[in-house]
Amino acid sequence: MKKILAVDVGGSKVKLLASGETEPRNVASGPKLTPVKMVDKVRKEARGWRYDAVSIGVPAMAGPGGLLAEPGNLGPGWVGFDFAAAFDCPVRIANDAAMQALGSYDGGRMLFLGFGTGLGSALIADHAIIPLELGDLPFHEATFSEMLGREGLEKQGKKAWRKLVVATIPALQKAFLADYVVVGGGHAKHLIKKLPAGVRVGNNLNAFRGGFRLWGIGEVQTLHGEGIAPKAPRRPARSNANGDWRIL
């Protein structure tokens, strides 16, 4: 089994964890973070960990060949950057919401919604990860990201924002014929008190599990950071015959 370093790139922090380790580490992020700086910081912070390959979740559109757009809240230079050469090992890139979705997946058809600065989204079905851009859809003379992300939370207040989110999730679940919905992101904590049937709050640490699964590694019982251990899935999440997940 390969040892994988999973890297979750966020707007304020870059979090990392190697398979077999128990405590995540993090370094500072921000609007001046370029891929060169990110790799340098991660390699220094990961000293003492052994890894054979790297998974990176980035808040930007990504495809099978890598990033398709620059992250809006980070520095420039991400599209076309040779991460494999920089890390000196094989690297797989995914949208951060897709990577967290994969780590939250329990089988069947799952819709993931990440409530943070904007709205991250992904669908998993038939061993395929389908990144979505629901945040760009028009919604109440704005967009889903503006209404359901940080801007909407600050403008509406927690109570009104929660009511709007809880009313919206069932419609999205029905539209994608999802068996269940997992919500994540920094603002998911505001939804714990009241969620529709078939909806649960995921653990943000599941992004690491998703990074491991990108390489065909299944359950890795090492995610105990912040005193939170992952629950075992209802049905094992399996990769395809080649040990890989397809990112469409």
Q: pLDDT tens track of the chain, all 248 residues?
A: 589 999 999 888 999 999 999 999 999 999 999 999 999 999 999 999 999 999 999 989 888 778 999 998 899 999 999 999 999 999 999 999 999 999 999 899 999 999 988 899 999 988 788 889 899 999 888 999 999 998 999 999 999 999 999 999 999 999 999 999 999 988 888 887 778 889 999 987 899 999 999 998 764 433 333 333 333 344 444 444 445 666 66
CATH class assigned to 4-99+205-237:
alpha beta
C-alpha closest to that of 172 among 109, 111, 118 = 111
Residue 44 contacts by C-beta under 8 Å, 6 or more apart in sequence?
none
List beta partners, residue 63: 66
231 three-state secondary structure: coil
The span from the CA of 129 to the CA of 125, in Å, is 7
119-157 confidence digits (pLDDT tens): 999 999 887 888 898 999 998 889 999 999 989 999 999
Same fold: 4-99+205-237 with 106-201: yes
Where do the structural domains in the chain lie, given as residue ranges?
4-99+205-237, 106-201
CATH fold label, 106-201: Nucleotidyltransferase; domain 5 (3.30.420)
Asked if 70 and 22 count as a contact pair (C-beta separation under 8 A), the reply is no
Q: Which pLDDT score, from 0 to 100, does residue 243 have?
A: 52
For 9, 83, 149, 159, the CA distances from 136, given in Å and listed in that order, are: 21, 28, 11, 23
Residue 219, number of CB atoms within 10 A of its CB: 14
pLDDT of residue 232: 37
Q: How do beta strands 62-63 and 66-67 pair?
A: antiparallel
Cα 119 to Cα 121: distance, rounded to the nearest angstrom: 6
Numbers of helices and strands, H then E, in the chain: 7, 15
What percent of the chain has a predicted confidence (pLDDT) above 90?
65
pLDDT score at 226: 31
Distance CA 66, CA 70 (A): 11
Could you tell me the pTM of the whole model?
A: 0.82
pLDDT the model gives residue 186: 85
Mean pLDDT score across all residues of the chain: 86
- Give 221-232 pLDDT, tens digit per residue: 333 333 333 333
